[in-house]
Structure 1
Amino acid sequence: MQVAAIFKTFLGSFSWSMFQWFYSGGEHCGFQSFPMFGLDLYKRRFFFDFSPSFVGLGMIVPHVVNFGLLFGAITSWGILFPFLDSKRGQWYHTDSTTTLNGANGYKIFIGITMIITEGIFNFIKLLSVSSIDYYKKSQENDSGKIKYMLTSPSLNYDDRKRLEVLAGNQIPLFLPVAGYIGCAIICSVAIPWIFHHVTFYHMALLFVILPIFTFCNTYGTGLTDWSVAQTYARFLLFIIAALIAKPGAIIASLAVCGVAVAALNVSSQAMQDLKTGYMTLTNPRAVVAGHIYGVLIGSIINPCIFLAFEANAKDTAPIGSKDSGYPCPSASIYRAIALLGKRGLDQLPDHCITFCLVTFLITLAVETLRLVSQKNDWKLQNFIPCITAIALPYLTGPYYSIDMTLGSVLLIIWGQMNRQSAELLSSAVAAGLICGDGIWALPSSILSIFNVHPPICMKFLASGKQVHIVDSFVNTLGTR
């Protein structure tokens, strides 16, 4: 039944994604920009983009995370950002999205503050709990696995086997430690050789503090199934640029940021795959070996793919430029953060630091409340939102939060109608939705390489004078 559900939803998701492609022949065209809640809310990025991937993801992610995303979308793009827009000309004087001395500074730094605060808080909490637990187990001379099984008689056969496979095939601690030190040494020598503005000491500092951010990102990914590696990398980018604060600081900080993004993404993805391996009774050593093979193969394939896209790009619009078919809109944001770090915090808009301080205190209060409620087993703990989930819409926009909330709503309705069916098939249905939509990216990319573009652009206009103007223009096209 699960296999049949996967194939049915996979075919449906793939077919729907292919159907949508025909109407996306231009910027902001197609069902991905469907103003379901009206054009005014569409301008605030509140719209349903008919993405099977996000709907499926919403069926997997806990409800508290999905509703946290929706709450973050409403408080940011529905309340806070419109208020900040009203302060244009008083607190800041630019509308540019490529700098941080305008409204963009509030959006990015408030989101970063929430994510960094929650990550560090959980790092300290789990480090303390793990240290105490390790001390107790060392006193009892017990690995913890047998004791856990004996004290959990309700544990079923499948979970017992999963524990046996996971605990019986652990990777010796010295291997990852040695591998990390080896990679740190190689990068500390190779990166300064490629980018002369980066020194050995910059890379050494990065690899000293990187495990803390890696842990925080992996923990957040486990909660939300969403990696915020770019957010931590932006913070490190700012720190390195401020630390250097001289000519070459921008290039050096961007290079260090690239290394951080790669490390953070690989670690969070590895933890996700280990979780999947736990559920499928896969040997953890095989999962790690697969990752190593994948990195080695990817280091060869990925440059080839980049060269293929570069060869297909126009000479007048190289890859990454605004007019290119393969733009890189985030590049200007990263450069703006590096420039801000080099020049100092006085470049931020008025009251930005105050907003960040208030955000820090609110995040700290929420995390403390969650910790106390968990310790006292209050029912309130199930309703405390995830701060990282709230922060994501601040950085990316609210559109996907609507899709994921819809996934939660569908799962709740399904569970009310047939709880057994929902528990058995919901994961399979979600996997089919995600895979079908994801697989369509491959043929669409191939079509793009061969200059085969969608034939239709579907857009939406407000009724009235605009419609007559567009009709008049379209009629002139037919006479040529």
Structure 2
Amino acid sequence: MVTNTDLELGVVAAAGESSTENAFKDEYVPPWHKQITLRAMFTGFILSVVFNFIVCKLNLTTGVIPSLNVAAGLLGFAGIKSWTALTQKFGMLKQPFTRQENTVIQTCVVASSGIAFSSGTASYMLGMSPYIASQADAGNIPINTKNLAISWMLPYLLVVSFAGLFSIVALRKMMIMKYKLTYPSGTATAYLINCFHTPKGAELAKKQVGSLFKSFGFSFIFGAVQWIFARAEGCGFASLHTFGSQAYAKRLYFDFSSTYVGVGMLCPYMVNISLLTGAIVSWAFMWPMIEAKKGDWYSAQLSATSLHGIQGYRVFIAIAMMLGDGLFHFAYMLMVTISSFTKRKNSTQQDCSEEDDEDEKIRNEYFLRDQIPNWAAAGGYAGIAVVSIIVVPMIFHSLKWYHVLVAYLIAPILAFCNSYGAGLTDWSLASNYGKIAILTFSYWVGLENGGVIAGLASCGLVMSILDTASGLMGDFKTGYLTLTSPRSMFFSQLIGTAMGCVITPLVFWIFNSAYRLGDPEGSYPAPYALMYRGIALLGVEGFGSLPKHCLNLSICFFVAAILINLVTQLLKKFETKYRIYRFIPSPMCMAIPFYLGGYFAIDMCVGSLILFGMQMYNKQKAKDFGPAVASGLICGDSLWGIPASILALAGVKAPFCLKL
């Protein structure tokens, strides 16, 4: 997954050796249909289930999702390596484990878990539910709400999730070979997989897998221990007032979450500091000042979750910062894309005329060997569009066929822009395009005609197409650097996407059956659900629905987000000695705790401290094992969610209550 908002954060490694393919000159490269093996798909399915639980839990808690490519590559390597070692011992090994098969597994898993993000089960889709609508007050009428059910969620995902794979597949040679776009996450993944399959890399990978499973075991057991002491609401380790009762009341406390300690280890330091800064600015200063105006700025009789009260300031100011950040990056990415094209046009194709090195010649040969016909790409996209035009309005009655047609006509253009930008910067802005779609289509349809649902559903269309398109192109880059056939990459993406379309609704159903999702005070607040619905309400109602002075404050923070990003980019361009831009917080990251509080930001800062300590002790070991330890912490704690959900569904309560 390459997406970095709503917030998914990539871990980028530098690709290294100048003659990588020389190390693999004696390795057998199987044909494309033998790269997609039954054992690879079985391993991919198991890991897809695991990663869907992880991404679903992260989505439903804070929405901060780190790159899980390292864990997917490592666990895929460990699974098949163990299988081949066992079958070889009994003389039953028919096909050796290659880096191409490893790439196929990683692609399948990331494509599947990517659906857990782009499906919107914790954002635009959950925002349709009556419970979230009740918190928003306005628009809480039957035509603007929809009960979540697998019976429509699964077919909706099956209809909209595949279009992105066909939208720009015809441009793969231009993006990968002609323009030589970097796709940093795709390059980093290829670098790791290439390393795994060298003797030295395989030995390191075994140690990394060992570290991952050790931290996994600790995290899983610690999750079980926490459950034992959480008999009722307000019980458990998270209820401890770690920084005092006043800080706890302002949602500033250590949550004892292994998941977010691990996420903090994977995220850049400035991301975690930005989150903590946003929590302190909002909960320690802004919200107490606004709450002092209760009875003047807003009615004192309103519930704590009403968007016409204090919750409205929290949600809409956060939305303003996100929209400001998204608008800036949209404009910036457009400028980068235009500038890049202009430079390429004026360079007289120097890159293409230069003598390719040996690695490039080999990679070009394999990348061009198995073609995906352009007619198949165009026909596939057109076919999916026709099916969507028929099916989507049957699911969402407020979306008409011509709305869906317009979305499918503009999506390939947006998909190209997004994928090109992601290739240059590793930023996928699919969620930002989705927010623009919400505003556009909700305004077009109107409140009385179900504009809220229409806007949220259109977000799903646009976001799914753009997210899968940029993900596919990044995976093509991984395949290019590992000599994996484009055809096997495309089909593994199709299989992984199909898995995700089935697994994601089922995983969401488990969480939705066991917990009240979207409760601001609960275990799974799903912050983006109310925010996305808030954007739709802005589209259909305008700014008149906001509490007193909320519009002025929102405009200030919208402008501030743009200015912060502008200053950051200017410093990056012109200031090189001290690199001050590294210490400027991210507006997108600052906005998230405006609604949630700072408890998860503190957890993530603890993760940063752990990683910093590892780096101080041994920088190389921290680089080698930090991501594996972090991935284990995330996997263990997230997977404890499976038995915890089963216990909750069965009505089993913990034996003790730890309470301050």
Is the 1:66–1:404 contact (alpha carbons within 8 Å) kept by the matching residues of 2? Answer: yes
Residue range with higher mean Cα deviation, 44-53 or 289-298: 289-298
CA, structure 1 residues 381+325, in 2 after alignment: closer, same or farther (shift >3 Å)?
closer
The corresponding residue for 1:154 is: none
Q: Within 2, Cα distance between the matches of 1:398 and 1:307?
A: 28
Residues 305, 129 of structure 1: alpha-carbon distance in 2 compared, 3 angstrom cutoff? closer
Identity of aligned residues (%): 33
In structure 2, the CA distance between the partners of 1:53 and 1:147, relative to structure 1 (3 Å rule), is farther
Match of 1:7 in 2: 213
Counterpart of 2:609, as a letter, is V
Deviation at 1:49, TM superposition (A): 1.1
Contact 1:112 1:235 in 2 (8 A): no
- Please show how residues 151-166 of structure 1 align to structure 2 within 5 Å: none
Aligned residue for 1:156?
A: none
Asked if structure 2 preserves the Cα contact closer than 8 Å seen for 1:100 and 1:337, the reply is no
1:258 Cα offset (Å): 4.7
* CA distances 1:275-328 after superposition (whole Å, capped 9, x unpaired): 988999877765553332133234345556677789x78xxx999999x99998
Letter in 2 for 1:14: F
Q: Is the 8 A contact 2:282 2:594 kept in 1?
A: yes
In 2, Cα distance between the equivalents of 1:206 and 1:25? 48
Per the TM alignment, residue 389 of structure 1 is displaced from its structure 2 partner at its CA by: 1.1
The answer to whether the 8 A contact 1:165-1:282 is kept is no
Deviation at 1:22, TM superposition (A): 1.3
Residue pair 1:44, 1:77 contacting (<8 A) in 2 also: yes
Which residue in the other structure is 1:36 paired with? 242
2:442 maps to: 241
Distance 1:99 1:454, change over 3 A: same
Q: 1:73-100: CA deviations, max 9, x gaps?
A: 1111121111111121111115335542
C-alpha distance in 2 between matches for 1:407 and 1:278: 34
Distance 1:73 1:327, change over 3 A: closer
Tell me how far 1:223 sits from its aligned partner.
9.4
Q: 1:253 to 1:135 in 2, by over 3 A?
A: closer
Shift of 1:57: 1.2
- Give the aligned residue type for 1:197: S
Pick one of 290, 293, 298 that aligns with 1:92. 298
| Matched ranges for 1:66-465 at <5 A | 66-93=272-299, 95-140=302-347, 142=349, 144=351, 169=367, 182-207=383-408, 229=431, 236-249=437-450, 250-259=452-461, 262=464, 286=488, 288-302=490-504, 338-339=536-537, 341-378=539-576, 379-460=579-660
Match of 1:52 among 258, 264, 272: 258
Q: Which residue of 1 aligns with 2:230?
A: 24
CA distance in 2, matches of 1:8, 1:395: 34
* Structure 2 SS opposite 1:355: helix
> Matched residues in 2 for 1:67 and 1:237: separation?
30
Greater relative contact order (Cα < 8 A, sep 6+): 1
Query: Measured at CA, do residues 56 and 373 of structure 1 come closer, stay the same or move farther in structure 2, by a change above 3 Å?
Result: same
SS in 2 for 1:344: helix
Unaligned segments of structure 2, at least 5 residues: 1-206
2:273 & 2:433 partners in 1: Cα distance?
A: 23
Taking the aligned partners of 2:295 and 2:284, their CA distance within structure 1 comes to: 21
Q: Confirm or deny: 8 A CA contact 2:430 2:463 kept in the other structure.
A: no
Distance 1:329 1:377 in 2: 36
SS state at 1:8 partner: helix
Contact conserved, 1:61 with 1:224, CA < 8 A, in 2?
Answer: no
User: Matched residues in 2 for 1:433 and 1:279: separation?
Assistant: 30
Measure the CA separation in 2 of the matches of 1:267 and 1:34: 44
**Residues 315 and 594 in structure 2, CA contact (< 8 A), matched pair in contact too:** yes
SS class of match (2:652): coil
| Equivalent pairs, count | 445
Question: What is the root-mean-square deviation in Å for CA atoms of aligned residues?
Answer: 4.4
Following superposition, the deviation at residue 232 of structure 1 comes to 6.7
Counterparts of 1:173 and 1:181, CA distance in 2: 14
Question: 1:419 Cα shift?
Answer: 2.2
Distance 1:7 1:329, change over 3 A: closer
Partners in 2 of 1:451 and 1:42 — Cα distance?
Answer: 29
Deviations along 1:188-223, one digit per CA (max 9) or x if unpaired, are 331112332221233344446667599779989x99
Cα deviations across residues 346-379 of structure 1 (Å, max 9, x unaligned)? 1211122211221122122211211211112431
- Contact 2:511–2:645 under 8 Å retained in 1: no
Post-superposition Cα deviations, 1:419-438, rounded to whole Å, max 9, x if no partner, equal: 23222221121111111112
Over 3 Å counting, the alpha-carbon distance change for 1:172 and 1:412 in structure 2 is: farther
1:307 to 1:19, Cα distance in 2 relative to 1, 3 A: closer
Distance 1:369 1:325, change over 3 A: closer
CA contact (8 A) 1:98 1:333 kept: no
Q: Describe the shift of the 1:327–1:417 C-alpha distance in structure 2 as closer, same or farther (beyond 3 A).
A: closer
The structural deviation recorded for 1:400 is: 1.0
User: Does the CA-based 8 Å contact 1:214-1:263 persist in structure 2?
Assistant: no
Listed as ranges, the gaps of 5+ residues in structure 1 are: 151-159, 461-480
The code of the aligned residue for 2:220 comes to F
Q: Which residue of 2 aligns with 1:469?
A: none
Q: TM-score w.r.t. structure 2 length?
A: 0.57
Q: Distance in 1 between matches of 2:569 and 2:410?
A: 25
The TM-score normalised by the length of structure 1 is: 0.76
